[in-house]
Amino acid sequence: MFSEFEKQALYKAIYARRDVRTFLSKKIPDEIVLNLLHAAHHGPSVGFMQPWNFIIVSSDELKGRLAWAADKERRALAIHYEGEKQNKFLSLKIEGIKQAPITICVTCDPTRGGSHVLGRNSIPETDIMSTACAIQNMWLAACVEGVAMGWVSFYKKSDVREILNIPYHIDPIALISIGYTDDYPDKPILEKENWAKRTQLADLIFKDTWGAPLDAAESPADIESSQPRAK
């Protein structure tokens, strides 16, 4: 059982967690880095396959090359947008890879556990799902440690494999920049930039079957107002 204080602390971390793009160069204590990795390693994984590895990159030369790979892909993706949308996309910062004292490349090994892993045989993507759970654990741990974290998700996997000497069969799932910041946003960056708005939870819930609305007695207002809040 958890006390009310402990429950509120968890919800506070969930709602306060943000994707951060600007960092200070201040070094993170090794103990905190290990805390984040322990949290990630205790994430749930299908069939207990634990498909993740963590490459801690502190070399300025390697961080610079990773930033190059991300910027190259960002510019390539910009052609999918036009006008103001394109300007906003190009304004998204990837300098955090070079600013942050460390960037952690989180990888996924689809061969871990052998040819038969409980659950993965039916849904192969569960190895990536499991790795994403580890990343979320790391993110929440970073939030409570007072450390900022930014997930860079556009790059060519072949570039990252070459830069970090990753075997071809290993998937580099995420580049996670971690460091301190003096600009921790109160809202998601893309929401503040008017890229998108958070969808109302009531619009995402069906009852029993796809598209079937909830009972009229439970109004959208009731759903939104029931969100736990840290006191």
Domains defined along the chain, listed by start: 16-189 (3.40.109.10), 199-231 (no CATH)
| Separation between Cα atoms, residue 77 and residue 9, nearest integer Å | 38
For the stretch 75-108, pLDDT in tens is 776 676 677 666 655 566 667 899 999 999 999 9
Return the C-alpha torsion angle 120, 124, 127, 133, nearest 10: -90
8 Å CB contact between 52 and 108: yes
Decide: pTM greater than 0.75: yes
Task: Please state which of the ranges 1-15, 40-54, 58-72, 195-209 shows the lowest mean pLDDT.
Answer: 195-209
Cβ-Cβ contacts under 8 Å for 206 (sequence gap 6 or more): 212, 213, 214
DSSP secondary structure string, 165-195?
T--TTSEEEEEEEEE--S---SS-HHHHTTS
